[in-house]
Structure 1
């Protein structure tokens, strides 16, 4: 790095420490300066400023921190410090209250966003009223013994019944074929095999596939 760049790094570090007036490590300073200067340049600047007495270096184990020369700053009145501490506590409490208020408002907003709007509620009410009217009419027809199932609906129901009965018979046949194959090499009876495997047949439950 050029001498001019080194000088700029020294000035930037000194200005930053005097402005903040609190201890930082070289890495903290580098990051807080948005890495405008490399870590090596910042470390060199800190060491140079510490050697010249413009800042103070404190070592904590392997960690070094740097702080502005406190002799450049006026003495702080103890009462002023207490007032500042009280102000900080007051502002901290205010921030916490504000955060709690924000949390409640966010929860309320979330609840409102998950609720129906007036227009949505009206549309849902209209839909339910229409359904209710349909059910009432259906109930009247049922009480009067009227036919309320259309030919198309009846045909659809019968078609589905036929489909499921065929599937029942098919699966029953496949299962019986598999069990018959197992029984060819099974030393016990069919009943014992069923009991051992835990098979319940339609016949055990008094069932059989309907006629198509």
Structure 2
């Protein structure tokens, strides 16, 4: 290895130990530096730095551990350590709260992605409402007619009516679930959400699914 490469490796290793100020083995440092320097270069740099008094070497059985020279760091008072510990605890709480919120939002997003889009639901709801109204008008007309219809046609009409009313209720329930999911993270009111996305409701037109 060239002299410049040796100096570069030694500088990188020294900076890493000083910045993190934690004990590491040669393998730890080699991996944590993303293998930027060869393992042999890292080991040699640690040994040279320790021999020159720039870092400290501790031997535990067959394991060697290296740490930054603590004399270069200012002395920390006991109350400062307590303040640091308190700040670390507060930051950990914030991290945990953020992770919980992130998981909650991921669940909401997953739910929204697995259902129909709002525009599709709105379009389908209006379409189903229109069809139900047309079928109801047809049924009313047929029921009030003087002439009789075939039993098969009558049964089909009632069957279709039941099917479309069920579909209406199903779509209405889906639309309600989706808007409720959106509202969990929506900063405005439900009324404002409906206005923003242009969603029209049965209540606006004084209609509701008929009994079946």
- TM-score surpassing 0.5? yes
The answer on 1:145 being equivalent to 2:150 is yes
Return the alpha-carbon distance in structure 1 between the equivalents of residues 8 and 118 of structure 2. 64
Query: Alignment partner of 1:144: what SS?
Result: coil
What is the Cα-based RMSD across aligned positions, in Å? 2.9
Q: How does 1:56-135 map to 2 (within 5 A)?
A: 56-128=56-128, 130=131
Q: Deviations over 1:61-114 (max 9, x none)?
A: 332210011122222111100100000001111111111122222222222333
In the alignment of these two chains, the number of paired residues is 147
Of structures 1 and 2, the one scoring higher in RCO (CA 8 A, sep 6+) is 2
- Who wins on radius of gyration, i.e. which is larger? 1
- Indicate how the Cα distance of structure 1 residues 35 and 127 shifts in structure 2: closer, same or farther if over 3 A, else same: same
Query: Alignment partner of 2:95: what SS?
Result: helix
Return the alpha-carbon distance in structure 1 between the equivalents of residues 112 and 100 of structure 2. 18
Q: Deviations over 1:149-203 (max 9, x none)?
A: xxxxxxxxxxxxxxxxxxxxxxxxxxxxxxxxxxxxxxxxxxxxxxxxxxxxxxx
Q: CA deviation at 1:125?
A: 2.9
TM-score, scaled to structure 2: 0.58
Return the alpha-carbon distance in structure 2 between the equivalents of residues 8 and 107 of structure 1. 47
Q: Name 1:196's counterpart in structure 2.
A: none
Return the alpha-carbon distance in structure 2 between the equivalents of residues 15 and 147 of structure 1. 88
Return the alpha-carbon distance in structure 1 between the equivalents of residues 87 and 52 of structure 2. 37
Name whichever of 33-42 and 53-62 sits farther off: 53-62
Query: Alignment partner of 1:37: what SS?
Result: coil
Return the alpha-carbon distance in structure 2 between the equivalents of residues 95 and 12 of structure 1. 30
- Indicate how the Cα distance of structure 1 residues 16 and 136 shifts in structure 2: closer, same or farther if over 3 A, else same: same
Query: Alignment partner of 1:7: what SS?
Result: helix
TM-score, scaled to structure 1: 0.58
**Unmatched runs of 5 consecutive residues or more in structure 1:** 149-212
Q: Name 1:51's counterpart in structure 2.
A: 51
Q: CA deviation at 1:45?
A: 0.8
Name whichever of 121-130 and 24-33 sits farther off: 121-130
